[in-house]
Structure 1
């Protein structure tokens, strides 16, 4: 007895990698838009079962969505024709192409017009198939033509004209991903167009009942030689010898079927039959459909005599309804003649339903039923919490770009490597601000341990750090790195225990120690300075930005000097190259004399007073901006020895350090967004010009005065007599690096001589002697 033809929808499995990729695309591409994103799901065609198997699990294969669903492309040759994959591995997977729509709020997800969405897809299917001209010859004549051509045998012809319909395999996915709570809500549909009444299932037979063994072998050989047809999944089978079985018209329709159910065919066939009804005038006719399920036999090249015992294919006899059953309603038809009020064809949304247990698996606001079209996934159950936290931090930063500053490019900042000299009050605060902006590579340099007074002001330390080692405290760099990893587990934090050599801090014990070479204290001190110089220079070269947050003025001199030296060398090399090019030499100047130095980092100094602070970016390369020492009237000297208790502690208002540190990092982030980067000219106001940073002004220096709650921004030029960055100092260093530094460590006044500062100050003194001082009364008389 005839009954409606059944179709089996695929079972969907969404891999966790799919949601990870969707989250990444939401952050980097979609942002706050709602684009229609093409996706491809793949289904591994099921392995054949024995015909006698009573396994109740004989269902279609799983349709999988993975990370590659966003980037997957078919193996195609010229013109989009699938290539002949000799291994056949690609043929074991059928593709379902579709569209993903990701909305921005849960409310939008719940109120989305799902019917309009599936109707739109169905209309594209219907009108895409209608674009091809209907076949003018009577379909029943094809049977005779096929029989004649086949000479009583079997002939297989691929239906390349139906390839654009993708064998009817279409999917739609509606999603909302909450990147704050890491939950995903989604619905999946497989839209199909169905006539009303539907197709009638008259009969079905196993392949050996519908065809002879000789015809089966002939068909298999032809399919084995035509992987393109197998990939498309549609073909005609012209069967001769009168074994077509009764009243069926024309050649059989072959369909590579992923279903293994004896009672149902693959879901995508519904769209194929609807399109073929129009193209081949199948209204009211009866045809035979070969549900081809022996694909693995073909691609594994098994012998002909092995096909018969284990085939799974079946032949269905199907009657099409009359023509008016295929009339489309206006939303689905672009042809007004087809869009009549008497339309009977409908779009079946095909929304997948999942069982609901204990109220789980559905979006808030949906009533609990036995099944639901809305599935919910808690990504926290699957993802590493480190990954979740890293993505959450990235989201906070990227929201600036999405909502406030479209020109903002976070990658220009968070790809940088940061060196923090000093892991105290400033170093801790700077590190916290850096990771809040997404920094991932931070190195601390400090030689001290955590003291009992540190945790209340130095935000990365706890009492346990100070109480460790019998009360002597943990090394600051170790405690700081550990604390950063606890805050952001994916941060690359490194600690280096190192004491920076300082002008005027000559080690008397080293001077008194005997030297094997007999050269005495000088050789010992020079060797120590050489090792320290190499270590510090290497650290500076490995990083893009160096924050100088040590607690004495002289401890900032050597790193500031090495940073300035790298800029000085870079400018000198560039000048030499230009001179050679001008002279016609054209040869590039190498990096000899670099001493292992790599790139040129930016130096930023942060210094504190009792109720004031200074944030200053040093001049970069050929910029003529003052460094931290340019306005000094003397060289930095020992300010830490022989100090009383009040002088040993940094006496400053507790709020000064966090403010200064935050401004230092904000200045750097703003500078990173400037079109000219680190060489941006100083600016004191946000002009809004495209020539400036999208985040605002990039001042040279920021001075804060908490007593009056004032900020003063400004810039000052480089001093030609600076003891740190003047050309004369660097010329002397190039001639004898270790010798010069050794002398500076013994006698900081040497810097005043080399730089010319001492001569300059002497001249200023003589000028002051010649100045005639006039008091107010004398001025009034004049």
Structure 2
């Protein structure tokens, strides 16, 4: 009957491509000489699985580790310098040269000492390292067997050839022998010495004159009952060259497959009954071995590895690694895509802005935009981590320099920059400046709407007012951070909708009573200005040098920046997102653990105040103020109706805001001064 084999199918692990790329760049360069490499195949393939020869991350490691059912196949990689060479190379001649090499190894006996050469292979390829495209074609050279070799019958299951006890002894003997001879274990001889004793012989031992054996053996990668794997073809060729007399007449081949069938540990193995004339093979037979492509055509293959090998893609994978590990055990419900796709606008690219940006990168945020109007000064780089001394020399714009550095740190960051001055109340707009201020206003209005989260990280209180108004109007998440000498405040602004302004007095009374209130809904939380009873004004006039600069202990900004970002991440992971309630701490209720105020990352406080005076933090919660100069209903409606005209009036006279929201009327109430006291942020740090 016709003797047929199951051919090898190549499988290249994704880790092989960066390996060969590095070889090409650092070692091969323009050298197109064959590069020795190691592949592996297995003899435990399940039914329907092709006989796979694998190249992996350790293809060039001489100490390649072979597991119990894997075997070595020595070959080479030929990497052409140009795609034209790869395409125009005479493939027939190329394969013939590889077959000549294999034939010589059989003739001189090297294939006996290194049986892994019988599974010889060659990978012809071209690596386009600019586009990460890899063109390749595998060849597994083997020889046509003479017509005097005959397969006498269909393969027989090993169970019908050897009893179960002997199969078990055979497997144990083979595994013991393989542990000591892993590199040559793909081919062997089997001798049954007693009814319960099996001896495994290497090829070098078995071909010696006078040495007897019962089976020619090979680790068979085939999964087909009717056909052995292609390594048998070259094994028989070798024996016909070196010891044809051992094949004279009838002989048996054990195709060892380490797959259990029922109680038999090698039950899927098969035995071939064959016969040969015993003629020595003197002339090199016809050779073949090119692998067909996925559609069965004799053509090369191409793999595009840009998505996994481009340095930017690799940087992104590395960035996401620790975050994804959080999901394994610690926080399985963590929504990393939500954080990754959140667009953050940082108003202020100074000490806080730089550190917030770096922390956002750590959480995998890809879109981070900067707004600032200052230039990098010589005092900035030591505290502001996105700037260098060269930025000072160049007089770089802070926003632009920060965005540029973010992309240098992580190329996948989409970092925009806007050099604009935020209009402020109490800072009158002259006729000469009006057009420029209008342009800044319109740009700020647009980019606030384009982002999901607004961070307020500026130096002055009044510079936070307009972004607060816009955030409340457009229902954005607003995170505010401010620094003192040794203190800081970080807070999230409450969202604003129709519920926020219903029965404000009743809500305030219930909140101040504190008896039954354990948390405040997200839409009822206050903003940065809700604790003020005056509108913000010009705080920069008549200031000494120490009052003009942000004078703070260096570590405070890192604390505040980290907490601002962690507050955002906890907020985004809460089931109610921006609407997450905040716990109320009082004598009757030490909140923070309620189901309402806790998300998968823990509680989501409204405000975090900290001090380095005593190294303490506390998390107060405050409600919205119906007469707030930044987020009250009247301010939001006035902003929607008049936009820039509203800003001009607020900039010209802060009293306009106080009149609009009713603060003027409230302050004129007789006896109010007895119930009001002045409180500065720093007063709360002791």
Range class of TM-score, shorter chain? 0.5 to 0.7
Q: 1:748 aligns with which of 654, 672, 676?
A: 654
The structure 1 residue matched to 2:580, chosen from 680, 694, 703, is: 680
Contact 2:481 2:491 in 1 (8 A): yes
Q: Map residues 510-529 of structure 1 onto 2, 5 A cutoff.
A: 510-511=430-431, 513=432, 525=434, 527-529=435-437
Aligned mates of 2:54, 2:495 — CA distance in 1: 48
**Equivalent in the alignment of 2:407:** 485
Identify the residue that residue 607 of structure 1 maps to in structure 2.
Answer: 482
Q: Among residues 528, 531, 541, which one is paired with 2:439 in the alignment?
A: 531
Q: Does 1:766 find its partner at 2:657?
A: no
Supply the distance in 2 between the matched residues of 1:397 and 1:276 (Cα, whole angstroms): 49
Of 689, 696, 712 in structure 1, the residue corresponding to residue 618 of structure 2 is: 712
- Aligned residue for 1:442, secondary structure, equals strand
The separation in 1 between residues aligned to 2:458 and 2:3, in whole angstroms, is 81
Q: Within 5 A, what are the aligned runs for 1:35-184?
A: 96=50, 113-115=67-69
In structure 2, the partner of 1:575 is none
Say whether 1:635 aligns with 2:535: yes
Structure 2 counterpart of 1:548: 456
Structure 1 vs Structure 2 CA RMSD: 4.5
Residue 727 of structure 1 pairs with residue 681 of structure 2:
no
2:104 aligned partner:
none
Counterpart Cα distance in 1 of 2:345 and 2:482: 16
1:430 aligned residue: 356
What residue in structure 1 maps to residue 553 of structure 2? 653
Report matched runs for 1:120-519 at 5 Å: 202-203=147-148, 271-272=223-224, 274-275=225-226, 332-334=260-262, 345=271, 383-468=309-394, 473-507=395-429, 510-511=430-431, 513=432
* 1:406-445 CA-partner distances (Å, limit 9, x unpaired): 2212111011111000000110010010111111111100
Cα distance in 2 for residues equivalent to 1:421 and 1:674: 25
2:492–2:527 Cα contact (<8 Å) kept: yes
Q: 1:547 to 1:5 in 2, by over 3 A?
A: same
Q: Give the 3 Å change call, closer, same or farther, for CA 758–328 of structure 1 in structure 2.
A: same
Deviation at 1:476, TM superposition (A): 0.5
Residue 473 (structure 2) aligns with: 565
Q: Is the 8 A contact 1:330 1:336 kept in 2?
A: no
| Deviations, residues 308-338 of structure 1 (Å, cap 9, x unaligned) | xxxxxxxxxxx9989x978999953227799
Contact 1:615 1:663 (C-alpha < 8 Å) held by counterparts: yes
Structure 1 residues 19 and 699: alpha-carbon distance in aligned structure 2, compared to 1, 3 A threshold:
farther
Gaps of 5+ in 2: 19-33, 41-47, 58-62, 73-137, 151-218, 229-247, 273-304, 498-522, 585-590, 677-686
Out of 630, 646, 665, the residue aligned to residue 565 of structure 2 is: 665
Contact preservation (8 Å) 1:529, 1:742: no
Say if 1:485 and 1:491, in contact at 8 Å, map to a contact too.
yes
Q: TM-score, normalised by structure 2?
A: 0.55
Give, in whole Å, the separation in 2 of the partners of 1:345 and 1:203: 20
> What do residues 452-486 of structure 1 show as CA deviations (whole Å, max 9, x unaligned)?
11111111111111122xxxx21101211121122
* 3-state SS of 2:490 partner: strand
SS of 1:420's equivalent? strand
Structure 1: which 4+ aligned runs deviate by more than 6 Å? 17-20, 97-103, 109-112, 319-322, 324-330, 335-338
| Pairwise CA distance, 1:387 | 2.4
State the 1:760 CA deviation.
Answer: 1.6
Matching residue of 1:12:
10
Partners of 1:328 and 1:339 within 8 A in 2: no
Q: Equivalents in 2 of 1:676, 1:434: separation in Å?
A: 21
**Conservation of the 8 A alpha-carbon contact between 1:548 and 1:606:** yes
Q: Which residue is equivalent to 2:288?
A: none
For 1:444, what is the secondary structure of its paired residue?
Answer: strand
Shift of 1:532: 2.8
Query: What is the deviation of 1:683?
Result: 3.8
Matched residue SS, 1:655 = helix
What's the TM-score, normalizing by structure 1? 0.48
Verify the 8 A CA contact 2:582 2:606 in the aligned structure 1: yes
Instruction: Return the alpha-carbon distance in structure 2 between the equivalents of residues 398 and 606 of structure 1.
Output: 28
Aligned residues: 426
| Distance in structure 1 (CA, Å) of the matches to 2:55 and 2:602 | 36
Instruction: After superposition, give the CA deviation of every residue in 1:637-679 in whole Å (9 maximum; x if it has no partner).
Output: 1011232212111111111111000000011111111111111
Partners of 1:692 and 1:701 lie apart in 2 by 15
* Aligned match of 1:358: none
Look up the SS of the partner of 1:492 in the other structure: coil
Q: Which residue is equivalent to 1:359?
A: none
Mapped pair 1:620 → 2:495: yes
Show the 5 A alignment for 1:566-605: 566-567=474-475, 601-605=476-480
